[in-house]
Structure 1
């Protein structure tokens, strides 16, 4: 039989989002092929906010999940083999599930994406707000008594 972890993970993700809560994922950052921002790893684990409003390009299949997010203002592609997922829960109430640790499968290296480093510049971006449009004239509608 195929592993049930991807099905359970998708079901809990959908359930948490449908109940207007924020799904958080606990990941074993030391698991092979995991690509997460290492500066936020604590005790070998990282908690990731995977709500639709926090990530883009979210993808969950039978072997891995991946998405793009910003960490400390820097964009990053996150890649997590499903064996590295330790738990999924709602931030608001802690409802969710814990998964048992899985051993690394040798063929998981085949699923890891080839990522390249992206150059960033120290250029200051002009953050002045755009000019406000002219105020609109009053409504053409009138109150009739």
Structure 2
């Protein structure tokens, strides 16, 4: 019997830790053909998303995938993210969190090298957005 990965358990624990401490949990995702996210917000083959309870609706953090609804530019989007595609989860306010190894896969065809642009939303809507905070460089990568 194959052992279950610790990654989904760590993601859920970090999400809970961020929430309990009043921080905003962000995930960094390597986007490929198995990932359903708004393509306009993918840059250089990845996207950073706010996964706080205020920014998401019907958030499910399972062992194989993360799924939720969120608003991007006023439009409700259904997001589907394989846990294997998550490269980091961190608190926006402090940068505390953890990095994870992601197996290279086919690059997202819509990715580009432009600077990240925040997804605009109505104030207070809690929409998932590109992170405005820089990705923490001190995150420990879990293999």
The aligned counterpart of 1:118 is none
Task: Indicate the structure whose relative CO is greater, using CA pairs within 8 Å and at least 6 residues apart.
Answer: 2
Q: Is the 1:27–1:45 Cα contact (8 Å) retained in structure 2?
A: yes
1:39 aligns with 2:33: no
1:57 aligns with 2:39: no
Does the residue aligned with 2:18 lie in a helix, a strand or coil?
Answer: helix
Q: Is the 1:83–1:103 Cα contact (8 Å) retained in structure 2?
A: no
The count of aligned residue pairs is 103
1:81 aligns with 2:82: yes
CA distance in 1, matches of 2:103, 2:68: 22
Residues 81-132 of structure 1, C-alpha deviation per residue, up to 9 Å, x if partnerless? 001001000010100000011366xxxxxxxxxxxxxxxxxxxxxxxxxxxx
The aligned counterpart of 2:112 is none
**TM-score (normalizing by structure 1):** 0.69
The aligned counterpart of 2:92 is 91
Larger Rg: 1
Q: CA RMSD in A?
A: 1.1
Gaps of 5+ in 1: 105-145
Which runs of structure 1 show a deviation greater than 6 angstroms over 4 or more consecutive aligned residues? none
Q: Is the 1:55–1:67 Cα contact (8 Å) retained in structure 2?
A: yes
**TM-score (normalizing by structure 2):** 0.70
- How far 1:33 sits from its partner (Å)? 1.2
Residues 41-97 of structure 1, C-alpha deviation per residue, up to 9 Å, x if partnerless? 111110000000010000011110100000011100000000100100001010000
